[in-house]
Amino acid sequence: MRGDPKLPDLIELEKQAESLALEDVKGEVYRGLESLNLAVFPGASIAVAVGSRGIANLSAIVKAVVEFVASRGGKAFVVPAMGSHGGANAAGQQEVLESYGVCEHLVGAPIRSSMEVVELPDEGIGNRVFMDRYAYEADGVILVNRIKPHTDYHAFPESGLLKMATIGLGKHEQALEIHRRGIEGLKTRILPTARQVLASGHIIAGIATVEDPYDETMVVRALQPEEFETVEHELLTLAERYMGRIPIEHADVLIIDEMGKDISGVGIDPNVIGRMRVPGQEEPSAPQFKSIAVFDLTDASHGNAIGVGLADVVTDKLARKIDYGVTYENVVTSSFLERGKLPVIAATDEEAVRIALRGAAVLDWNRARIVRIRNTLQPYRLMVSQAVMEEMAEKPGVTVGNQFRPILDQNGNLSAWS
């Protein structure tokens, strides 16, 4: 923009953490299921419920479940357990799973995708209870999900097996039933609804995973339904402890290279960027960024840009990838409309950076506090400006790169990472 000063250079920086990745994830899953002594009889039809969140080693985990069922003479199939995601239609949900490597030729089981549900007894809990028809008609259901802090609210249970048993496995109908109560519905309706689903006897086991700061699988637990509440509570505490975080409490501008449904259920993880924007849910105290700019939408999002409203600036490149039908179905179902609002749209990468700096009211661009990350799955690896580097360089576990480089390359796009 005319009259604006030169953009400051950035230097790469990494806040190292202990890697706790398991060496044999598939084996852990298989051995865990063996320890449960599940009653999978020859010919039994077993539904493996899989959600849409980005989960490390997801295809290998599902394949291990399928192979375990086959070893007992059963026949496994996969059902999408993702509420209203994938455009709230069967084809869209199957497409989402396949884009994550959960497809028949990789996991050894077909996908049976439908939005049809069966209503279960609610026993007067105050809301209706639903289950995917394919799962309901199977001889048993095994859930597969990662335990982690939720992107909408903080009240047990958050993301995990219990939420998957309700909003995930209950499809669009259950998502509407819970979300129409707003944030209080999420905080107060998931647990009693999950208890009703488990009481139906259809779910026979769950595979719960927890990931380390580098988003690698560090814990695998095979659980019986009666263990879900107690163990999930323990695993959520562990997940919160090891969740990847941006190691900077405040800055003027946060640049995020990409957002997407394969990165977070809200495209940009609010727990990482310090913005919730959900009525009734308190905003995090840190980190705090005056202005956030996002530059691209992943192809694996299939046009779903839920969470775009968490940004202040996006590029035209990102905006042109948005499928508004898919995005609004997800946003409106959640009832958190703020997250679907379009930010300022910049024509180019350079314009996006400049608008973000101006929006942050930075007077001296040479001293601007700028942080750049690839996405919210990788908050430990950053590019930072001089002012941030000076603060971080002496902290333990921080590795600083060799030299400062321009934010933009010769073509005016964000510069490549080394």
Q: 187 is written with which tokens?
A: 């905080």
pLDDT tens-digit map of 2-59: 567 899 999 999 999 889 999 999 999 999 999 998 989 999 999 999 986 679 999 9
Answer whether 226's CB lies under 8 Å from 265's CB: no
pLDDT at 221 > cutoff 70? yes
The pLDDT score that the predictor gives to residue 18 is 85
Answer whether 167's CB lies under 8 Å from 159's CB: no
Side chain identity, residue 45: S
**Exposure of 230 in the CB half-sphere (CA atoms within 13 A):** 5
pLDDT at 121 > cutoff 60? yes
Side chain identity, residue 115: M
Side chain identity, residue 129: V
Q: What is the DSSP letter of 132?
A: E
Q: Would you say how long the chain is, in residues?
A: 418
The pLDDT score that the predictor gives to residue 2 is 56
pLDDT tens-digit map of 245-292: 999 999 999 999 999 998 998 999 999 999 999 998 999 999 999 999
38, 96, 252, 284, 319 from 294: Cα distances, Å:
46, 22, 14, 20, 10
| Sign of the torsion formed by the C-alpha atoms of 208, 210, 216 and 219 | negative
Q: Which CATH superfamily is domain 25-242 in?
A: LarA, N-terminal domain (3.40.50.11440)
What stretches of 79-137 show up as alpha helix (H) in DSSP? 90-99, 104-107, 133-137
Answer whether 306's CB lies under 8 Å from 340's CB: yes
One DSSP character per residue, 201-243 reads T-EEEEEEEEE-TTS-EEEEEEE-GGGHHHHHHHHHHHHHHH-
**Exposure of 273 in the CB half-sphere (CA atoms within 13 A):** 36
Confidence band, pLDDT 50/70/90 cuts, at residue 1: low
The pLDDT score that the predictor gives to residue 3 is 63
Radius of gyration of the chain (CA): 22
- Residue range 64-79: mean pLDDT, rounded: 98
Domain boundaries, the chain: 11-17+245-400, 25-242
Query: How many Å apart are CA 351 and CA 372, to the nearest integer?
Result: 16
Q: pTM score, two decimals?
A: 0.89
